[in-house]
Amino acid sequence: MKILPDSSLTEGRTAVVKDSGDFYEVYENGEMILSIRKDFDVFEILADLGFDSVVYDKVEHPEEIETLRSLIRKVKSAKGVERCGAIAIFIGFVRRISDGKEVVRLEYERFDELYWQKLKEIEKRIKEKEGVVDVKIYHKIGSLKPGEDILYVIVMGESRKDVFKPLEDCIEMIKRELPIWKKEVYEDGAIWVHDK
């Protein structure tokens, strides 16, 4: 789901989000359909509900938001789904203890110009494996606390034997090739993980 500052680039099902004090008001086709408390992630809720884009005037740069449910919905609507019977899912999340230290948060940065190209290349290479019909990868960036999800990888195939090895291969490619950097922040300092 795309989050955009204006409606000029929207396609598919679009929600408009307006800030209303303690709540977000959500509109579709000019009608208010939801009111969501601000302590909930309005964008993840809208991705789960099947919106393709959200117009929110307080966003400066367009971004993508996906959830596990929105990604599963996308793979299940892929061409060739009628011959599939298995989906394998990997969820990476923030651990609380790393190398004996308590993690306060992780901070992820990425090189945008290369990131999307490499992500599509990895998805394409996994889709070329026998029995695999579709692949979706979503990696969050920014600051994440222990217990929060970081990475979703979904591989759909004709049968269970077609999905587990490609899922593992996909995760290894992501670790090696995606231009993403992770900083672990502790109570007493921080370290970029590639510096360990």
Residue 72: which CATH number? 3.90.1170.40
Question: Do 20 and 73 share a domain, yes or no?
Answer: no
**The model's pTM:** 0.83
Residues 163, 112 within the same domain: yes
When pLDDT is cut at 50, 70 and 90, the band that residue 41 belongs to is: confident
pLDDT tens digits, residue range 56-79?
Answer: 887 766 678 889 999 999 999 999
pLDDT at 57: 80
Assess whether 28 and 74 both reside in one domain. Answer: no
Q: Are 76 and 39 members of one domain?
A: no
| Containing structural domain, residue 172 | 68-195
Q: What is the mean pLDDT of the chain?
A: 91
Tokens 């979503």 appear where? 138
What average pLDDT does this structure show over 120-142?
96
Q: Using 50, 70 and 90 to split pLDDT, how confident is the model at 195?
A: low
pLDDT at 10: 62
Confidence at residue 13, expressed as pLDDT on a 0 to 100 scale = 87
Q: What percent of the chain has pLDDT over 70?
A: 94
Q: Are 78 and 115 in the same domain?
A: yes
Q: Are residues 113 and 168 in the same domain?
A: yes
- Per-residue pLDDT tens over the stretch 151-180: 999 999 999 999 999 999 999 999 999 999
Which of 15, 30, 64 marks a domain boundary? 64
Tally the domains of the chain: 2
User: Mean pLDDT, to the nearest integer, of 11-32?
Assistant: 90
Cβ(76)–Cβ(156) below 8 Å: yes
127 close to 186: Cβ distance less than 8 angstroms: no
Per-residue model confidence as pLDDT tens digits over 81-109: 999 999 999 999 999 999 899 999 999 99
The domain boundary residue, chosen from 28, 49, 64: 64
Whether residue 80 is found in the same domain as residue 113 = yes
Nearest 10 degrees: Cα torsion 28, 32, 34, 40: 80
Same domain flag for 16 and 90: no
Beta-sheet pairing, 14-20 with 53-55: parallel
Question: Alpha-carbon distance 1 to 92, whole Å?
Answer: 20
Q: Which residue has the higher pLDDT, 64 or 147?
A: 147
The residue from 39, 64, 89 where one domain ends is 64
